[in-house]
Amino acid sequence: MSAIDPVHLAGLVRRGDLRGLARALTVVENGGPEASVLMHKLYDPSPASRSVGLTGPPGAGKSSLADVLIAHWKSRGRRPGVIAVDPSSPFSGGAILGDRLRMQRHACDPDVFIRSMGSRGHIGGLASSTAQAAEVLAAGGFDPVLIETVGVGQGEIEVVSVADLTVLVLVPGLGDDVQMMKAGIMEIGDLIVLNKADRPGMDQLETVVRASLEFVREGRPVPQVVKCSVATGEGLEDLFSKLDDLLSSGRDFEAVRRGRVRENLLRVAAEQGTRFALELLERSYGIEKAVDMVLAGETTPYEIGERIAALSGRAPV
Amino acid sequence: MSAIDPVHLAGLVRRGDLRGLARALTVVENGGPEASVLMHKLYDPSPASRSVGLTGPPGAGKSSLADVLIAHWKSRGRRPGVIAVDPSSPFSGGAILGDRLRMQRHACDPDVFIRSMGSRGHIGGLASSTAQAAEVLAAGGFDPVLIETVGVGQGEIEVVSVADLTVLVLVPGLGDDVQMMKAGIMEIGDLIVLNKADRPGMDQLETVVRASLEFVREGRPVPQVVKCSVATGEGLEDLFSKLDDLLSSGRDFEAVRRGRVRENLLRVAAEQGTRFALELLERSYGIEKAVDMVLAGETTPYEIGERIAALSGRAPV
């Protein structure tokens, strides 16, 4: 792919050019100054598009749910975007979610934009890249933008927390782990979907989930709970209506905007800082030379870190 | 807790003082210059202690497996340490794994050290703090050090990848998600434990897992696979013997040491860079003032990020 001026690319995205959109997402994934210029041009502190984070443990049925949500939004004349966040390890290349079976039927639809994000690179973290990709899709006219993860864990929570709303999908059979997840995870779900309602153990799961809602801290919204079965369709209308209410009027997005802008600023600053420190490490020691010194017992990574901090501190402000 | 000199604290850790060890872990969690000094003093590029990362989806039986591993290592006269990494959201305080039911029976044993790590703070990321906590336990004479996560996802993979060896626990019933996990996750497991061998779907799970081993990239070790049932005890002796072989002689730890020192260096540098950038943001704009400017449409987070990068770049090297 030839180099492309990020200002021109921003214009293509705003006009809804799909090839431009795909290129813009690649620029975001690659990071660097081009991504900064592109994102600066596309930035909107008050976007019309909403984003929805979708998380839950493996096997909870997140991709099936994503599929029915896409079909639902399409039937209402909306143009949903999807960012499927790939759980592959830092060692593995590329995105493997392209072949998510259940979403494939939307792959050739110009009114649905699906993009996988791999974990490689992303110097500021996958959450930062995901937030930027969601901003690109919003600028390209996709609404809502669904941010789907495969796992449920610290990284996934960070990823989905960049969204306006989060949906947590749970199923019976998670054992003790659901107990352990509750304190933290219940706080991120605006909507908790109890999927596979026909499975044994649903009553017990519902009891645990409802009990845990008491732990939601004061001042935070108490998540709504919906029981459904994506496989049979049971309860889906209720889910659609609750989610669409939340998206349209059920939540005071103005009130949370300040917090989201602050988080965005801190993410971008942290990304720049990380980039700078790694450059400083390379320039002042050379990474391999520093490794040699540590292996020879001449210094430690922590001493080198302090030295980098001291060098950074000399920057005039 | 009164302030304590980190150099003195490092001495307490090395002498195996348990209260000193607990304090040292708190220093690590709080981060900052004290943590740097402490870790510098405790650093060992060639530690005798090994660490084992334990990950897998919720419900896979990780904490039951941790419990039997602890009991096994104890029975061989070893002193295992455990770092239980908490999945709680960035918004939720504190560690909730203290009450992991199955590990409690070891809680009062002086030859087993169990510590939960919450997700709050950790400016350089939870993986960085976890790596440091494992180094502290190793310096305190605990071996092996088990690093257990609750979820399985991007963050968990980063967390367990700081360990010398990783164990991935899977169970039947993960649905399509196991397909999606395979490309990335299979590469992080030195040992893949198929737990709940008596459950329906085990044959299918084993087929998927064994097929996915063909995707392990050339030059990387192919994970071993063990079937067991932690509940009935079936297959556990095989699991213990394979894991202990890997820990003692089954892997060339020298060969991976350089890579691990490099990762440690990059983590520490990134942490310092993030800290510096956030200070610079505060000093040069004031975070709340910057938020005001973005909300007023005067600038964007990306433009501020570039400005911070430009300021950083002026640091003399």
**Three-class SS string for chain B?**
CCCCCHHHHHHHHHCCCHHHHHHHHHHHHHCCHHHHHHHHHHCCCCCCCCEEEEECCCCCCHHHHHHHHHHHHHHCCCECEEEEECCCCCCCCCCCHHHCHHHHHHCCCCCCEEEEECCCCCCCCHHHHHHHHHHHHHHCCCECEEEEECCCCHHHHHHHCCCCEEEEEECCCCCCHHHHHHHHHCCCCCEEEECCCCCCCHHHHHHHHHHHHHHCCCCCCCCEEEECCCCCCCCHHHHHHHHHHHHHCCCCHHHHHHHHHHHHHHHHHHHHHHHHHHHHHHHHCCHHHHHHHHHCCCCCHHHHHHHHHHHHHCCCC
Contact residues, chain A, for B274 at CB < 8 Å: 270, 273-274, 277
For the entire predicted model, the pTM comes to: 0.65
Would you place residue A97 in the very low, low, confident or very high pLDDT band (cuts 50, 70, 90)? very low
Which of A149-158, A202-211, A296-305, B123-132 holds the top average pLDDT? A296-305
pLDDT surpassing 80 at residue B177: no
Q: How far apart are CA A251 and CA A245, in angstroms?
A: 8
Q: Do B258 and A291 touch (CB under 8 A)?
A: yes
**Model pLDDT for residues A41-68, shown as the tens digit of each residue:** 999 888 889 999 988 877 788 888 999 9
In this predicted structure, the answer to whether residue A245 has a pLDDT above a threshold of 60 is yes
Cβ of A11 under 8 Å from any chain B Cβ? no
pLDDT above 90 (res B24):
yes
Lowest average pLDDT, out of A105-109, B40-44, B77-81, goes to A105-109
pLDDT of res. B255: 63
User: How many interchain CB pairs under 8 A, A with B?
Assistant: 349
Q: Is A31 on the interface with B (CB under 8 A)?
A: no
Confidence of residue B137 (pLDDT cuts 50, 70, 90): very high
Query: How close is the nearest chain B Cα to the Cα of A237, in Å?
Result: 24
The interface residues of chain A toward chain B in range 106-165, judged by CB-CB distance below 8 A, are 119, 125-126, 149-159, 161
ipTM of the prediction: 0.74
Angle at A82 between CA A265 and CA B152, to 5 degrees: 75
Instruction: Give which of A158, A227, A155, A150 is closest to A188, Cα–Cα.
Output: A158
Asked if B36 and B147 touch (Cβ cutoff 8 Å), the reply is no
Closest residue to B183, CB basis, from A88, A174, A305: A88
Architecture of the domain whose range is A46-251: 3-Layer(aba) Sandwich (3.40)
Per-residue pLDDT at A159 exceeds 80: no
Q: What percent of chain B has a predicted confidence (pLDDT) above 90?
A: 32
Task: Give how far Cα B103 sits from Cα of A36, B63, B90, B148, Å.
Answer: 47, 7, 25, 12
CB contact under 8 A, A312 and B276: yes
Q: How far apart are CA B305 and CA A131, in angstroms?
A: 15
The answer to whether A87 touches B185, Cβ cutoff 8 Å, is yes
Q: What is the pLDDT of residue A100?
A: 46
pLDDT band at B144 (very low <50, low <70, confident <90, very high): very high
Which amino acid type is present at position B252? D
pLDDT category at B179 given cuts 50, 70, 90 is low
The whole-number pLDDT of residue B76 equals 94
Residues of chain B with pLDDT > 70, as a percent, come to 75
Asked if residue A179 has pLDDT above 60, the reply is no
Give the confidence band of B100 by pLDDT, cuts at 50, 70, 90.
very low
Per DSSP, A107 falls in state: T
pLDDT at B99 over 50: no
Residues in chain B within 8 Å Cβ distance of A180: 87, 96-97, 100, 150
Categorize the per-residue pLDDT at A90 as very low, low, confident or very high, splitting at 50, 70 and 90. Answer: very low
Reported confidence tier of residue B90, pLDDT bands at 50, 70, 90: very low
Q: Does the pLDDT of residue B175 top 80, yes or no?
A: no
Would you kindly state where each structural domain of chain B is located, as residue ranges? Answer: 1-43, 46-251, 263-313
What's the confidence (pLDDT) of residue A33? 82
Contact status, residue B192 vs residue B200, Cβ threshold 8 Å:
no
Q: For position B286, what pLDDT does the model report?
A: 92
